[in-house]
Amino acid sequence: MLGGSPLGSGQGFVFLEGHPRLVYVLNRYARTAERVLVEMAAARLDEDDVVDSLISRCDFGLLGRVTGVTLDADESVTRLRSRWMTHLSSLLPRAFGSRGGVRVQRGRSDAYLYLGVDGSSASLYADTTGDSLNFREYRVYNHPSSIRPSLAASLVFMANADGGVLYDPFCGGGTILIEAALMSLARPTHARRTYRFRSFAEYTAEEERSASLNHPVIRPFEYEVGTEINSVHLKGCRKNLSAAGLGDLRVSLGDCTKTVLERRADVIVTNPPYGVRGSKLNRMEALSSRFLQNLPNILRPGGRAVVVTSDAEMLKREMARTGLVPSEVAKTLHSHLWVEGIAFRMPEG
């Protein structure tokens, strides 16, 4: 949808090949990504000295003016090949040549390099993003149990929506509704921010401006609606909607376990309280049960729902009691908590 040719995937990664302009497109429109890395060099694991090979094949001049470098690596390197990082740290200051004065440091720096292993090869990547893409300018109100925007966007994709009515029964700060609306409008992920790629030697502002989408990544919804049981969070949700330029979206105060929609939703995407963060664990089962029992009042027959939870087994048990069967399950790390997105359809008839 955003261009490029898929080359495969790894743990937390998707590999793409494409025109250098793809860096701009992904940074500006990839709502499910946290950052965009470009491969500087690759080496086979059976080479005599993998780190020396990687360094010799990199043109660090492409990174522009650099005084400090932050190093990171995947688990395969940090756990099994930690000496690689030590060796890389010792070589990097000299690798930048006559520009000199380059320090390997922790925290913020001019350049961020990532060493990863995939199959039989190792690659050194350069970050093009800077601060994580998870940050969104519209988050002027931070819900205490807010969902990460990239996860919210992933859940919308998982719903495989085809227009119609989208409903978030636990809308909180409005992140799911906002991400869905902005994707359907082909809006950039960020209106104002500084990307690391703007300091690269070959960067041109004109090429960045030309990197835009000609069509939405999902079909626009007829309308979106949300309910929130807490008046403080609802007020914050409306602030976020306004900041995103979506002040006309329909959100209201209500208990979704009792709500009856005049027009039932075609798609539900939601992030209920997880239990460990938003409510007590012994209340979650009852909440899930009441929510699922009320589904006929809020989701049309054949409609699709995606619910994210940290207690997938509990939700699946409650679904089984009401005759619902998961059609897709995806697991991911959300902050420091493993969660699962569970997709299912409302039975016909």
pLDDT at 244: 95
CATH of domain 37-127: 3.30.2130.30
Query: What's phi and psi for 214, nearest 5 deg?
Result: -95, -10
The pLDDT score that the predictor gives to residue 324 is: 95
Q: Is the dihedral of CA 30, 31, 33, 37 positive or negative?
A: positive
According to DSSP, the residues that pair with 44 across neighbouring strands are 121
Do strands 103-104 and 250-253 pair parallel, antiparallel, or not at all (unpaired)? unpaired
For residue 278, the model assigns a pLDDT of 44
Contacts of 169 (CB under 8 A, 6+ apart): 226, 227, 256, 259, 268, 270, 291, 298
Phi-psi region of 199 (alpha: psi -120 to 50; beta: other; left: phi over 0): alpha
Measure Cα distances from 210 to 24, 54, 133, 204 in Å: 9, 32, 20, 10
d(CA 309, CA 332): 10
Instruction: Report how far residue 301's alpha carbon sits from residue 345's, in angstroms, rounded to the nearest whole number.
Output: 8
Alpha-helical regions (H) of the chain: 22-29, 50-57, 75-80, 82-95, 149-158, 175-184, 205-210, 231-243, 281-293, 312-321
The pair of structure tokens assigned to 327 is: 């059609």
CA angle 82, 77, 49 (to 5 degrees): 75
Q: Which residue has the tokens 């390197």?
A: 77
Cα–Cα separations (whole angstroms), residue 326 to 6, 81, 151, 322, 340: 27, 40, 19, 12, 12
**237: Cβ–Cβ under 8 A, 6 or more apart, which residues?**
141, 143, 171, 172, 173, 174, 226, 228, 251
For residues 76 and 120, what is the distance between their CA atoms, to the nearest angstrom? 12
CB atoms within 10 A of CB 331: 11
pLDDT at residue 282, rounded to an integer:
66
Task: Write out the H or E segment, with its range, that includes residue 233.
Answer: helix 231-243
Token duo for residue 295: 């589904």
Q: What type of residue is 218?
A: I
Q: Where in the chain is the domain with CATH 3.40.50.150?
A: 149-190+216-345
Give the residue carrying structure tokens 């049960």: 289
- Alpha-carbon gap, residue 203 to 208, rounded angstroms: 8
For the chain, residues classed under CATH 3.30.2130.30 are 37-127
Distance separating alpha carbons of residues 178 and 136, to the nearest angstrom = 11
Structure-token pair, residue 15: 């590999």
Q: Which residues of the chain have pLDDT under 50?
A: 275-279
Homologous superfamily of the 149-190+216-345 domain (CATH): Vaccinia Virus protein VP39 (3.40.50.150)
Bridge partners of 71, per DSSP, are 113
Task: Give the other-Cβ count within 10 Å of 259's Cβ.
Answer: 16
Q: Distance between the two ends of the chain, CA-based, in angstroms?
A: 34
CA distance 131 to 59: 23
